[in-house]
Amino acid sequence: MELRASLLGLLALIVAGKCSYSPEPDQQLTLPPGWLSLGRVDPEEELSLTFALRQQNLEKLSELVQAVSDPSSPRYGKYLTLEDVAELVQPSSLTLHTVQKWLLAAGARNCHSVTTQDFLTCWMSVRQAELLLSGAEFHRYVGGPADTHVWGGCTAFPPHHP
């Protein structure tokens, strides 16, 4: 159940990111056939949310991917290790510090990062998440390939988030 909440939290953030800065007030969620809403999630329930951080050197990464994929390139077949990718794309110290400070001020707990340091996963209550992610509401659904789903709707982020 915790893994599902994490993955669906990430999905919610991806969807929320596509909402730009001002979600449509009349935007309706259309449930897939066979799904049923169980209503809002209890405000005290704990969620694991994953936040994507701005990566660096994406143009360089794209060039390297092209080079290792091009048979005429001297770098052909010399693939990057995960550590190489991490060193290349990890967010700046300022970005990491700013986002961590923002999350901790909102009550996030037990934050940890992946190897590349471009994602932070934190625990918080639904109440804290909805306050942090202005306009978000978390609802529980049944149906689909898994038994229970938690989903948060579109949200508005601060205009100058890192």
> Which tokens is 95 given?
């970005």
| Tokens 């923002």, residue located | 102
Q: What pTM was computed for the model? A: 0.67
> For residue 114, what are the CA distances in angstroms to 52, 80, 118, 120, 152?
10, 17, 7, 7, 23
Residues 6+ apart with CB under 8 A from 144: 32, 34, 35
Q: Beta-carbon neighbour count of residue 47 at 10 Å? A: 22
Average pLDDT (116-136) is: 93
pLDDT digits (tens, 9 = 90+) for 144-162: 766 555 556 544 333 344 4
Paired strand residues for 140: 39, 150
One-letter amino acid at 46 equals E
Name the DSSP class of 32. P
Query: Percent of the chain scored above 70 by pLDDT?
Result: 71
pLDDT, the chain, mean: 80
| Tokens 């936040």, residue located | 51
pLDDT digits (tens, 9 = 90+) for 6-65: 444 444 444 444 444 444 555 566 778 888 888 899 999 999 999 999 999 999 999 999
Average pLDDT (72-98) is: 94
